Amino acid sequence: MNYPNGHKRTPPPTGGKKNKKPDYSNRGMTLEEDINQTNQAYLRSGKAVIHKKPTPVQIVNVDFPKRSAAVIKEAYFKQPSTTDYNGVYNGRYIDFEAKETKNKTSFPLSNVHEHQIQHMKQVIEHGGICFIILRFSQQEETYLFPAEKLFSYWERQNSGGRKSIPYKDIQQGGHFIPLKFHIRVDYLSVLDEVYL
């Protein structure tokens, strides 16, 4: 195959390591992109103000080859992040995590961290609405799963129980969010039914 400029395409080498470690760096980005688009639509329509939280990072080393092209060479996470999104809807504080899995039969609890569970509990104690949006990418299904229900699975795991939430439990205890065209993941319509 030749490129339009006449140069030949050189195929990548096929030799080398067969068991390459999988790359998880962009896992969950499709769900995040859909939620970011949804939040922008909510903001434009004046329905809610909900944003993705920035990850706190300490920059240690920056290379300045020229003023307009600074490159961060070294940085560290300052502290563990809490959840992905927060904001205000209908006079209520909203706080939630977004997770995507390729697993067909369950959601692995290893995708959630202890400090996130503690944060969710504190939000609920102060009257906020807290939940997790789960996407099963193989089934192309998205669910809103209340944090209060997540806690019981977390405690069971810590007591030596199952380390995942079965898909059928998420179907039964969660709330299906249909994908739409203009507002991809309209989770506020589910909040209206469940919380408000």
Asked if residue 116 has pLDDT above 90, the reply is yes
* 157 marked among binding-site residues: no
Return contacts of 107-116, CB within 8 angstroms, 24+ apart: 107/134, 107/136, 107/164, 107/165, 107/167, 107/170, 108/163, 108/164, 109/153, 109/154, 109/157, 109/163, 109/164, 109/165, 110/163, 112/150, 112/154, 113/80, 115/80, 115/82, 116/82, 116/83
Confidence band, pLDDT 50/70/90 cuts, at residue 23: very low
* Domains identified in the chain and CATH numbers: 29-53+80-194 (3.40.1350.10)
* 139 marked among binding-site residues: no
For residues 117-146, average pLDDT: 96
* 116 marked among binding-site residues: yes
Query: Tens digits of per-residue pLDDT, 31-90?
Result: 999 999 999 999 999 999 999 987 666 676 777 777 677 777 776 655 567 899 999 999
* 32 marked among binding-site residues: no
